[in-house]
Structure 1
């Protein structure tokens, strides 16, 4: 799920060509960047130096001063000011401080008029790599429009010596020991090779209010990771002949959702690949409405009113929660079942995912983690995300699962228990320059292909990565901002250093 005041999955996808190996149409890795290790000069140099100083100060006043001085005034006020300052504080918590390494060659910003600079930072805690994406406003004295932090692909000039599986697991355990001991990770982690679980650990608190600890079976919110389930459901209905990827959405979505002039031009393919031009229902109407109003797929209908595509369908990639929501409408119309009933019966049940569902937040569900965000002026002041989040997840995200259930989902996909090999190949084929297939992110590295999805929202972060050729599965879930994404990026870097099996 995406929320404008925090690091979002949309931002992470936009970073794909710089932060992970680029992927071509056939899933082959291509050179994606070059690092300029000389500190930048002029205005950009001043901004980068001030950003690093603000991170390393670990002081809310310094963070707020940086945001007010260097960010565009329209996005540096009110809640947005607190959120952007909090992201600097979070960058320190995940790294224990950073040092400048390089400015990485700019990505195509998808038609945006804003200049994009990606700064690669070295983390002091682990010696890992962090990327800060600075989107600049144009003008004679440009300010920063937004900053997003993520794990960065290691610079090409650094040594990435091969490691064994045992060495990888030792490094993961040592990293997790440090993260947990320093309160930099709250969640659960699983690493498996095929059906064999190699590592499964948890730390932190599922409830700070009652000091209930997380365990390996705690249910965490998935954010946008639900999009994988929605895409698999569509693939199943295509196999049954009830849906075609080329069908216009108007075949399933009536004019009470969107005008026919819009839905006639958008296909199921466009919705799956985020190329419909539609935006996100996390808009002002959602922000100013009671969460109680949104429980079923149809309840979200008022939030899509007036959502005209921002470009002709198929023209380019634009991450869209509204598009994925409409796939839920397609599933309900084509199957004759409620979305939640369909995925429960046709995905969760055959995969053995007994602890996965779109649980309502006002239901007393056992061993379910509350989400905590640090959007505050205080150094450490956690706030529950209950009134920020949807009361019940849906086709675009917001359901709950465990790291064990995500492993079972990955296994069920790979052995053919959910879709046939042809459908799976379609789900996992890159459809754009953003490393995205049908509801799955697509990556490549020297030893093979990896697929999966991540999710982010205040108090939520998670990632599932399936290393298709090496056989590994990594599931990381957290009930705090960004922490699972940082951890999973680090694990990906280490796993990809394991040589491919002969």
Structure 2
């Protein structure tokens, strides 16, 4: 793969050019930004913000994150642990009362944060990208409380504490629990506890039916037509993902998180320590963060949904592990980001989680 210390802008440009010729990603819009040892070596964009007006995408335009923003949910919850409002052993039942009676009494925040709750899911991550995954009106899904009819279908599949089993429902439930525990609307809680301390002024939860001009629209292919994903996802991002961000803001995020500006050291250590792995050990997860076993010290967020693909990875500078490196790739179809993420991630020895 070559010496990661010697990576150049020219080499990265060539890798991105090669990747953009794979899997038809030029039909989408996307961005890639690479920083190594504090220097931005590459920032590339392709495609348009909105197919109707054909305005070219710019690096400052906001991209949808899909499940990449699960990390924000996790950190908002962990800040409530830090201030004593919650603990990792707090159970869902402690805050649910009589709601969602199928959720077992022994499912804790730690289980939900690490995808080891043993609960079923209600949104199929493996469904075709043009599938309509929610059978409730998407325009009604604004607050975590709005998801109660959806979460009512969640049932235990086995006792908590098992291997890593990725569950969107777990993070929707976490947003509900965080809102109830704090008394602060979930989206405001994330803004106050995560986005603001990180200086992420270009990141927010945007309504898909009133997107500003600087927010890219995701698309799905239905037959021969490209259609907006507005009817495929909640109108406002839930706890399981869907905020909008920029690649530069993701650099601010990783710097703030690893710099101790969001969590105290003890909880940061827990969040970045593997709590669960898949049966085969290919993937590991901390508390809201992917931790690739092949790349110790690397932390990742990623997401894929109808009209969205997103990957961001960070490696702090460590002796023997290579220089600091931060890469963010985002695209406006479910597949657009992955060819670029794979080649750049492999070259910088960051690997991808999916």
**Are 2:281 and 1:441 equivalent residues in the alignment?**
no
Tell me the SS of whatever aligns to 1:229: helix
Pick from 276, 284, 306 the counterpart of residue 458 of structure 1. 306
> 2:30 aligns to what?
187
Q: Distance in 2 between matches of 1:414 and 1:191?
A: 18
**Are 2:23 and 1:170 equivalent residues in the alignment?**
no
> 2:281 aligns to what?
none
- Given that 1:279 and 1:321 are in contact with CA atoms closer than 8 Å, whether structure 2 keeps it comes out as no
> 1:203 aligns to what?
46
> 2:72 aligns to what?
229
Q: Distance in 1 between matches of 2:151 and 2:242?
A: 18
Tell me the SS of whatever aligns to 2:14: helix
> 2:227 aligns to what?
383
Compared CA separation, residues 362 and 334, structure 1 to 2 (3 A): same
**Are 2:83 and 1:240 equivalent residues in the alignment?**
yes
Q: Post-superposition shift, 1:162? A: 2.9
> 1:408 aligns to what?
252
- Given that 1:357 and 1:399 are in contact with CA atoms closer than 8 Å, whether structure 2 keeps it comes out as yes
Residues 58-73 of structure 1: pairs in structure 2 closer than 5 A: none
Q: Distance in 1 between matches of 2:151 and 2:133?
A: 10
* Greater percentage in strand: 1
Q: Post-superposition shift, 1:178? A: 4.4
Q: Distance in 1 between matches of 2:343 and 2:176?
A: 37
Which structure 2 segments of 5+ residues have no match? 125-130, 279-283
Q: Post-superposition shift, 1:175? A: 2.6
Pick from 460, 470, 475 the counterpart of residue 328 of structure 2. 475
Compared CA separation, residues 281 and 181, structure 1 to 2 (3 A): closer
Tell me the SS of whatever aligns to 2:84: coil
- Given that 2:133 and 2:232 are in contact with CA atoms closer than 8 Å, whether structure 1 keeps it comes out as no
Q: Post-superposition shift, 1:375? A: 4.1
- Given that 1:190 and 1:200 are in contact with CA atoms closer than 8 Å, whether structure 2 keeps it comes out as yes
Q: Which runs of 4+ in 1 moved over 6 A?
A: none
> 2:188 aligns to what?
341
Tell me the SS of whatever aligns to 2:292: strand
Q: Post-superposition shift, 1:441? A: 0.5
Tell me the SS of whatever aligns to 2:170: helix
Q: Post-superposition shift, 1:433? A: 2.1
Q: Distance in 1 between matches of 2:118 and 2:285?
A: 15
Q: Distance in 1 between matches of 2:66 and 2:117?
A: 21
> 2:127 aligns to what?
none
Tell me the SS of whatever aligns to 1:205: coil
> 1:393 aligns to what?
237
Q: TM-score, normalised by structure 1?
A: 0.62
Compared CA separation, residues 171 and 276, structure 1 to 2 (3 A): same
Q: Post-superposition shift, 1:412? A: 0.5
- Given that 2:311 and 2:341 are in contact with CA atoms closer than 8 Å, whether structure 1 keeps it comes out as yes
Paired residues, what number? Answer: 331
> 1:496 aligns to what?
349
Q: Distance in 2 between matches of 1:163 and 1:349?
A: 32
Tell me the SS of whatever aligns to 1:207: coil
Which structure 1 segments of 5+ residues have no match? 1-159, 498-502
Compared CA separation, residues 163 and 249, structure 1 to 2 (3 A): closer
Q: Post-superposition shift, 1:369? A: 0.6
Q: Post-superposition shift, 1:232? A: 1.0
- Given that 2:119 and 2:157 are in contact with CA atoms closer than 8 Å, whether structure 1 keeps it comes out as yes
Pick from 189, 196, 202 the counterpart of residue 355 of structure 1. 202
**Are 2:259 and 1:418 equivalent residues in the alignment?**
no
Q: Distance in 2 between matches of 1:335 and 1:347?
A: 14
Q: Distance in 2 between matches of 1:346 and 1:390?
A: 23
Higher Cα radius of gyration: 1
Q: Post-superposition shift, 1:196? A: 3.4
Q: Post-superposition shift, 1:314? A: 1.1
> 1:306 aligns to what?
153
Q: Distance in 2 between matches of 1:235 and 1:309?
A: 24
